[in-house]
Every structure is written in C-alpha cells, then in structure tokens.
Structure 1
Amino acid sequence: MLLLALGGGFIVAHTTAGLSLGAVLLITILFTSFLNSELALHIILLSMLLSPEFVVGGVGGVSLGKPATKGDVLVLRMEDLILVAVALAWFARTAIFKELGLIRKTPLNRAILAYTVSLVIATLLGVFLGNVRPIRGFFFTLKYLEFFVVYFMAVNYVRDERQARRLMTTVLVTCAISAVIGIAQIPSGERVAAPFEGKFGEPNTFGGYLVFMLALILAQALSARGLFAPLGWAAFAGLLALPLLYTLSRSSWLAAVPMLLTLVILSRRRLILMVGLGALVVLGPLAFPKQVVERYDYTLNAKVDRGDYRIGNARLDTSTSARFDSWRQGFQGWTDRPLFGYGVTGFAFMDAQFVRVLVETGLVGLAAFLWLLWRTWDVAWDIHKRAAGTWYEGVTLGYLAGLVAMVIHAIGANTFIIVRIMEPFWFMTGIITLLPLLLDKGGPAQAPGRSDGGPALVA
C-alpha cells in the first residue's frame, strides 16, 4: 500500500488533474470489472458512444475532441482504455477462477481465428519487406482485433435471458442518449456527429451506428404485439432517423436502403413497412430537410466540383470521385502483392473496407474476412429461424438487416474497423450467438410488447 501511495503521488505530481482523474477512473473500472462482470459490460456499452476522445501532444497539450490539424499527436478514445481495463480484469478472473474459461467455443471462432492469423501474417511480412513500421502496424492490428474482445466477453459473461435483456436495454439507452445529443447539434448548422468528438467529428461513423441501431429498433416495431409497443418502437425509430438525416452521410443513407429491403423481405409484417416506405417515397421530397436535398443535388446535379466519374449523364462530385480514385490505386497496388498484400497500414489510406482488406492482407485476408461475414450471417439466419414466435425474433431480424446495412456501408467507409460501430455490432453478435443456449435454458421467451422487462420497456 505504501508503494502504491508513493507511486500514485509521483504520477499526480507529474501529470495534469484531468489525466490523474482519468487514471483513477480506469483503476476503479479495473477493480469493479474484476468484482462484477455484468457491471463491466454495462460500462463498456455506455462508453461506446458516450465517452470522449483526447488529443495528447501538439500545441494544446491535452485537449478534448479530434485534432484540428494533423501532426505529432496521439488520439485516444476513452472507450479504448476502458476496454483494456475490463479485458485485464477478465483475464485476471479467468486466471483465478479456472471454471470460467478464457474463450468460449462458438460457431464463429474458426472464422475469427482465420481472419486474425491473416492480419498477423500480412503485417509481419509487411514489416520484413519495409512497408509497415513495426509499432504502427502492431497497434493498428490490435485496433482491428479489439472488437472481438467485446464479442468473447459477451459470450463468456451472459448466462441467462434476464441478463441479456438488461444488457440490451443499456445498448438502447445509450443509443437514445446519443440520438438526443445528435438532435441537439442540428441548430448549429454543422453535420451531426457522435457525442464528445469535438468540432471535427466523424458524421459517417455516427451515421453507420444509427443505421445499425435503426435496424434493431424497426425490427422490434415489426415484431411487437399489441398497439402501444409497436408505436413506442416506431417513435424510437423516428428519434434515430432525424440525426441520421442530418449526418449528411451518403454511405449511411445508402446503407439504409438494403436494410429496409431486408426487413421487408424477412418480416411477416412487411405490408406495414411497405406502406410506410411508400409514404416516405411520396412525401420525402417535401419533408426532407433542405440540407439533405442539397447534399443529394451536390452529389449528382451540381455544376461545380465535378469529378471524372459518371452515373448516366450525371458527373459525380470530387469527393466521391476521389474515393473511386483510391479504389483504383488500391487495385493497382494489390496486383504487386496479390496473396498477402502490404500488411496493416502498409499502403496508402483509403476509406473503403473491402478494398482496404484486399490491399493490406491480399486474397488470403479478403477470403478470411468474407468467410467471417458469411459465417456471421449463416449463424444469425439459423438462429432467426429457431427464434420464430419468440421475443428474440425481432432481435435476430434486426441483426440480419443491420448486418446487410454494415456490408453496404463498408463500400464507402472502413466500417468494420470503426470503434463506435463495431463495438455494439460485435456485442450484438455475441448475444445472437448465445440465443440457442438462452432459448433452450429458459424455454420460449415472451413476445415483445408482452414482456415484463427488457428492451421493450425502453420504447
């Protein structure tokens, strides 16, 4: 204790008050997570969208939000540090309590392992060939893989239906708070971004998150029984739709289309959704905000800032054209390293997940990544068929639609390596994977809208 006190005093004396309080918070979370596993998961779920980013270095020292200019700075997300603290507590618990097990056997383990191995091999080859700086490659590879920690924590910690419902309620509460904060940003006239990202936020990231959560909530609205529960879920969906529009994220808007089509195809109440979508198509041009209409016109119809690419007779804007240019450069670079690519961070930055995976990890890595996506869909689809008529039918339906949306979103963004999207995605993947166990253990679950607790009450 004396050594801890001396060490703590030394750290406090040589750091700012904010850093000292942050260190105390992380240590508190570490011990709390060791003592209460479920509380640790609740903390992670809340921090996914409601934790700030810190910039260390540069002119301002330590500051909140993203840096205004690029330079010799380090950007840290609080949820990254919280995840590390909770993971350390998890490792400590499994070391002491052997019966817990470090990694639970699931249908996705082999695909996750294959993708992990492909990343490691490609990055090591990139280091040996001089394309990847070792430290940078190491930390970015960890960033690519940290989301699987959330997945395995979910499948290791969740033991019964009530626990799953409590955690999903926290997911929805976090989503509601984030949406309200997003709506509060609209009067500023700036594009809406995730909470606590400062002036230079990432609207595309927030848009991808909102589309995924919107899929889950719309599915609950379609699956709920009675009158008030579907209306409550529909109101919740409207709460998310407003900030989604004001993100002005074209990738997110595009991802919403196949998400809605998936719900139409798979839902037994597709007629209700089709009527709503029909009304949206008819009234949308009159009801959409001015910024949304201008964003669409700028992409296809504006006369200035035009690129070299066309859709029909319309020339695309320079931003979209630059994205296509980066894809072409990626394909050209991949031809020189077709099997294992250049390694993580070994090639120029590009905002397109599939092209990035191809150029960084080659055909081997892309095959592993596509296998992981396919296994995720296959497992969720099988569980969706088993969950028919239960409370979980809406959960699985929303997850399938959300997965389709994320795949489309990844065409124009690095969706599957974005913390604020992938942490909730992989947590829900863990819950979906556990559903057969929960269904067998607890028997048939009540339909949404008739349950005595859980996420249905949030609406």
Structure 2
Amino acid sequence: MLIAVPFALFISQTHPSTSLLAAVAAVPLLIAFVSPMSGLYLLVFSMLLGPEFLVGGIGSGNTLGRGVTLRFDDFLLMLVGIGWLARVAVSEHGKVFVRTSLNRPIMLYTIACVFATLIGILAGRVRPIGGLFFLLKYYEYFFLFFMTVNLVKTKEQVKHLVTASLVTCFLVSLYAISQIPSGMRVSAPFEGQDGEPNTLGGYLVFTMALIGGLLVTPGAVQMKWLLVALLAVAGFALQATLSRASFLAAGVVLVGFVLLLRRRSPGLVALVLAGCIVLAVLAPRAVIERMTYTFGQPEEQGQIHVGSLRVDTSTSERIQSWSQSFKIWKTSPLWGHGVTGGPFMDAMYPRVFVEVGLLGACAFAALLYALFRTGRISSTHFEDPYLRGLSLGFLMGFVGLLIHALGSNTFIIVRIMEPFWLVAGLLVKSLLMDQHERGSIDDLSLQAARPIHSSGSLRPPVPRPQPFPGRAL
C-alpha cells in the first residue's frame, strides 16, 4: 500500500510514455526486492549496462563542478539489500555479516573516511550533503561485498555469477567497438557525452585478468576458445580507449602471467610473447600515437622537463597533483580534509592522503594488503581448478588495478569497484564453503576412526585448528 499510493500519483501526473518507462523499470526492481538472489544477477548486468543521470550542485566547497551520478544499479542494489535484510530479520539463524578476513580492514577504512568527513564538515571544508552523498556513493560496493557473501550458497552460483559478469564484459566490449567509427575514445554505455575511457579501461583490464587466470589454469574451463574469443574482443575494445593508465596496467598483468608461466609452460609463454609482438606491429595508429604522445607532444606551457625529455601536459598535471597533494596534506596530516574536502585530482594515492590523512591511508593500505592476501591464499587453497583460476585472475587483476590507480581514482570508481568487490565476495564465500566442506569430511572421518569403548561411548574428538576464514576478527 505504501508503494502503490505514490506510484499511482506518479502515473496520474506524468506523460504516458514516462509512466510506461517507469513501469518497465519497476519490474526488475520488484524482482530484486522479492528475490534478492535474482536481483544479484540483475545487478551484475546493470553494473556496466545500467543507465545513469547526473545530479549537480551538491559537490563540496573545494570540489565545485562535481555532480553526483545516480545509476540504475544504485536503486537495484538498495532494493536487493532491503530484501536481503528483511529475510535476515525473519530468519532465526540469519546473520547480517558473515565473519570474513576482510571485515576488519573494511570497517577500519570506513570509520576513517566517516571520521575525516565529519571533521571536514565541522571545519567548513566539506558541504554536509555533498560529502555524505559522495561517501555513500564511494563505499556502496562494501555493502555489495557483504551481500554477496551472505546470498551466495553454492559453488554453482559462484560460477553462474562469474559467467554473467563475462557476458556483460562481452556486451560492453561490443558497444565500445561500435563507437570506433566515430573517431572518439570509446567508453561504457550511458556515460554521457564526454564518457570515461579510463574507467572502461580499468574495468577491461580487471576482467581480462580474470579470463587469463581461467585460461592458464589446467582444467578450469572446457571450451577455452570462448574465453580466447572474449579476450580478443575485450583487448580490441581496450585499445580503443586510448587510456595510457590502462595500457600500463595491462602490461603489468601480462608480465605477471609470463613470469608465472615461464617454468610451467614455456611454449605458452613463447606464444604470448609472439602475440604481443604481432599486436605491437598491427596496433592502430591512434594507439601508437597515444603511447608516444607522453614524450612526443610539441612544446607547450605547463610541461615538466626530465633531463632532455618533455612530459606531456596531461601527465605533467598528474605529477604536479602529487606535489600539490603533499602541500595540502601537511595542513591536516592525521585525518585529512574529508571526502570531497580537497581539490579534484586524477590519482588515487595522493587523493587518499588528502581526504583521509595518514590514519586513513594506513587503513587503506591494510585493506589493500588484506585483498592481496585473500587472492594469494585463494590461488593455492582450492582444489577446484575453476576457483583456482578465478583466484589467480583476481590476484593479477588486483595488481593491475594498483598500477591503474597511479593515473586514476580506481578504487572509488563504482563501475570498476562493483565487479571487483563482487568477485572478492565470491572468492571469500568460496573459501568459507570449502572450509566447511572439508570440516564436515574430517568430522565424518574422525567418527569412523574412533574406537568404541566397552561402555559404548566414543572418544572425545580431537580439537582441530580453526581455518583461515574463521580467524578473521
């Protein structure tokens, strides 16, 4: 009744075409509320394919001109979360947060960000509505992580969600390739007139790393030619972004795979290197010009000179932003200026120091280490080749995003972080399920091996050390 009344008023006061569009959009939202797991599948597709619109005028005092982008998956995530929390509330054994190895780092980083933003609001550096709105937008993917860990129940669901993510990557890549004839740098759907090629590049680097992990792991997938085709399509789209940060990140990921395979499969390494040479020879002219532009731009004002080399103005601005951020950071070194309290800068690491200070930077570093540790342990823990390959791809993709963050705000870009934290949640949940299965098998083995005394009682079970995921907090 609470939903029907405002919906009826909306229909009666809007144009029929608008009402029809709203009714169509309400269907997946209703599905997400009634069935959170179905909503999670819808959310996977809407991460990159969902429409968005810009709400301007609520940036902070030092971040003028920045609006907040609302997207369809924001509402979808909210309704999936409400449905999940409602089910937890009526369940006798429901838990809001499953105990994982990432809970504490996430909690510490979130507290640091909230505290810094509140201090910034009190000091007049951050507008209250704008700062809190950006804070919610930046860290909604943590909620996605917890929701994924709680909703996923089987390893089949893990594989299905990964498959849905790869299908989404294929569709996004085709959309990006379709923009090439326009002569502009390509971007993901629904990103406005200017687009965000760097965002699409970071997303493609991470997803291609997942594909690479599945390809190089023996027995992970049956029809590898499908993944090879997807890798080729995504790589073609990545070239069209002309994003140098993404090219650098992809190069680091490629080097990581080569180092990993140099002893296990030297033939495959030779094939990969040959492919790289062919790719470099056949690369479009725009890609070559973009790569050489860094040191080949004609002399202009604002360029940084390194010896006899000139660095282009775009890269020079990023380098200068690091120096500028250090000066700003010194004015509030411990807790920073708050989210959106500093000037806009297109680099993740100096932005962290400016916005959340040294305390927040330490919490951020702890979170990054916990993510790396999760990927490293997962890549050697699983017996299932698919999960092992997925873990390896996640680890390589994470390293690639660390490099991508040198020239982009990678870890606060929702279109990169939503797929990233979805896969992180899937891996953590798979670890928990695997440990539970092994524990059940061990219990059965112990019961079968216990000698029976004359009294008919069994010897008490031998206590076993708690597995890695259970020691999280």
TM-score normalised over the length of structure 1: 0.87
Deviation for aligned residue 1:337: 0.6
State which drifts further: 305-314 or 429-438.
Answer: 305-314
Deviation for aligned residue 1:95: 1.8
The one of 170, 178, 187 equivalent to 1:184 is 178
Instruction: Give the aligned partner of residue 455 of structure 1.
Output: none
Question: What letter corresponds to residue 224 of structure 2 in structure 1?
Answer: P
Instruction: Give the aligned partner of residue 97 of structure 2.
Output: 103
Matched pairs, number: 431
Separation in 2, partners of 1:178, 1:344: 30
Instruction: Give the aligned partner of residue 285 of structure 2.
Output: 290
Deviation for aligned residue 1:25: 5.1
Matched, 1:433 2:425: no
Deviation for aligned residue 1:312: 5.4
Alignment of 1:10-25 (within 5 A): 10-15=9-14, 20-21=19-20, 23-24=22-23
The one of 103, 109, 112 equivalent to 1:118 is 112
| Residues 340 and 363, structure 1, Cα contact 8 Å, conserved in 2 | yes
Deviation for aligned residue 1:275: 1.6
Separation in 2, partners of 1:300, 1:395: 37
Residue segments in structure 2 that go unaligned for 5+ positions in a row: 58-63, 439-473
Instruction: Give the aligned partner of residue 379 of structure 1.
Output: 374
Instruction: Give the aligned partner of residue 271 of structure 1.
Output: 266
C-alpha distance after superposition, 1:192-223 (max 9, x if no partner): 10022233110000000000000000111111
Matched, 1:346 2:341: yes
| Residues 299 and 310, structure 2, Cα contact 8 Å, conserved in 1 | no
State which drifts further: 409-418 or 98-107.
Answer: 98-107
Separation in 1, partners of 2:280, 2:160: 39
SS in 2 for 1:104: coil
The higher radius of gyration belongs to 2
Matched, 1:397 2:396: no
Separation in 1, partners of 2:313, 2:380: 45
Question: What letter corresponds to residue 316 of structure 2 in structure 1?
Answer: S
Question: What letter corresponds to residue 318 of structure 1 in structure 2?
Answer: T
Question: What letter corresponds to residue 8 of structure 2 in structure 1?
Answer: G
Separation in 1, partners of 2:56, 2:361: 36
| Residues 155 and 434, structure 1, Cα contact 8 Å, conserved in 2 | yes
Instruction: Give the aligned partner of residue 198 of structure 2.
Output: 204
C-alpha distance after superposition, 1:118-155 (max 9, x if no partner): 00110010011110100011111111210011101110
| Residues 214 and 386, structure 2, Cα contact 8 Å, conserved in 1 | no
The one of 290, 298, 307 equivalent to 1:303 is 298
Instruction: Give the aligned partner of residue 7 of structure 1.
Output: 6
Deviation for aligned residue 1:336: 1.0
The one of 404, 413, 422 equivalent to 2:408 is 413
Separation in 2, partners of 1:434, 1:4: 34
Matched, 1:245 2:239: yes
SS in 1 for 2:242: coil
Alignment of 1:53-202 (within 5 A): 53-55=52-54, 75-202=69-196
Q: 1:103 to 1:287 in 2, by over 3 A?
A: same
Separation in 2, partners of 1:266, 1:18: 55
Deviation for aligned residue 1:282: 3.2
Separation in 2, partners of 1:297, 1:154: 42
Instruction: Give the aligned partner of residue 326 of structure 1.
Output: 321
Instruction: Give the aligned partner of residue 458 of structure 2.
Output: none
Deviation for aligned residue 1:297: 2.1
Deviation for aligned residue 1:31: 3.5
The one of 351, 354, 362 equivalent to 1:356 is 351
Instruction: Give the aligned partner of residue 454 of structure 2.
Output: none
Matched, 1:35 2:34: yes
Deviation for aligned residue 1:96: 2.1
TM-score normalised over the length of structure 2: 0.85
| Residues 147 and 419, structure 1, Cα contact 8 Å, conserved in 2 | yes
Question: What letter corresponds to residue 93 of structure 1 in structure 2?
Answer: R
SS in 1 for 2:223: helix
| Residues 160 and 441, structure 1, Cα contact 8 Å, conserved in 2 | no
| Residues 333 and 358, structure 2, Cα contact 8 Å, conserved in 1 | yes
Q: 1:354 to 1:22 in 2, by over 3 A?
A: farther
Separation in 2, partners of 1:93, 1:52: 28
Residue segments in structure 1 that go unaligned for 5+ positions in a row: 59-69, 444-459
| Residues 353 and 413, structure 1, Cα contact 8 Å, conserved in 2 | yes
SS in 1 for 2:303: strand
Instruction: Give the aligned partner of residue 67 of structure 1.
Output: none
State which drifts further: 157-166 or 257-266.
Answer: 257-266
Deviation for aligned residue 1:269: 4.4
| Residues 264 and 270, structure 1, Cα contact 8 Å, conserved in 2 | no
Deviation for aligned residue 1:12: 2.4
Instruction: Give the aligned partner of residue 51 of structure 1.
Output: 50
The one of 293, 310, 313 equivalent to 2:308 is 313
Q: 1:12 to 1:378 in 2, by over 3 A?
A: same
Deviation for aligned residue 1:236: 1.7
Separation in 1, partners of 2:219, 2:269: 18
State which drifts further: 45-54 or 24-33.
Answer: 24-33
State which drifts further: 91-100 or 227-236.
Answer: 227-236
C-alpha distance after superposition, 1:76-101 (max 9, x if no partner): 22222221222222222222224232
Instruction: Give the aligned partner of residue 216 of structure 1.
Output: 210
